[in-house]
Amino acid sequence: MPVLPGAEPYRHEGGEVGVLLCHGFTGSPQSLRPWAEFLAERGLTVSLPLLPGHGTRWQDMQATSWQDWYAEVDRELRVLRERCRDVFVFGLSMGGALALRLAARHGDAVRGLVLVNPANKVHGLAAHALPVVRHLVPSQPGIASDIAKEGVTELAYDRVPLHAAHSVRQFFRIVDAELPQVTQPVLLLHSPRDHVVPPADSARILGRISSTDVKEILLEQSYHVATLDHDAERIFEESHAFTGRLAPGAGPVGSPMPEGRGGSTTGG
């Protein structure tokens, strides 16, 4: 299936400080594109991949699992590491969980994390029924466009494929067990009025990671997809200041980044 217009991956060749951005479950790079472009305009090397099964139609997710999504961001991190002196990982929602696992497994190869409304658990009584229900019902209503700002929509699926939902539930359990292995500096921004991921997820993450350099910011004006909401500029500016503090200066441009898979675009 062709990638939906606007859901394409994004790459920008900048300096020796790189950022990998991870989008959320059933979402697409569109939710993080303004953030990626903000960073690119300030000289950073940026990679915003499209996760397998995303950005086309929800049925395509049924054949994918957390292993596929994680493998994609793991591969992108390795590409950035070959090209950049310092690499940060930013994530929204499930993308935050992907970022946390990269940090837990790659150690010093990840300089720091910026997490926006990171997900840690599939909530609700229905979550416990997923192992059985996914064989009976293919999907349920979607979770897209939880945005307070009027006239803004998220490019994401309007249905949640339940095989994939079962897989993400398994993934969250794995990441939760690995949280004590996260030692990098962390900037966590979350919305008290998030209708998709409750504040309890951010609290649990902050309580279980081993990082000592941690900053928490409340996004009072935004819902779940805060990167497209009223607090977007604050997220962008705080994250850029975070990278500047930990890795001052972009440095000289290194070797060009290799082109990604079909459909990728280059900013700048």
Residues labelled as active-site residues: 93, 194, 224
Grouping H, G, I as helix, E, B as strand and the rest as coil, residue 1 is: coil
Distance CA 189, CA 228 (A): 14
The tokens of 145 are what?
């466009």
Q: 244: which strand partners?
A: none
94 is in an annotated binding site: yes
Report DSSP state, residue 51. Answer: P
- The answer to whether 44 and 114 are in contact (CB under 8 A) is no
Long-range contacts of 227-232 (CB under 8 A, 24+ apart): 227/31, 227/32, 227/34, 227/35, 227/92, 227/116, 228/31, 228/34, 228/147, 228/149, 228/152, 228/154, 229/147, 229/148, 229/149, 229/152, 229/191, 230/148, 230/149, 231/189, 231/191, 232/34, 232/35
Distance CA 223, CA 196 (A): 8
Report DSSP state, residue 48. Answer: E
1 is in an annotated binding site: no
Whose CA is closest to 43, among 72, 86, 97?
86
- The answer to whether 26 and 54 are in contact (CB under 8 A) is yes
Extract the annotated binding site for substrate.
25, 94
- Binding-site residue ranges: 25, 94
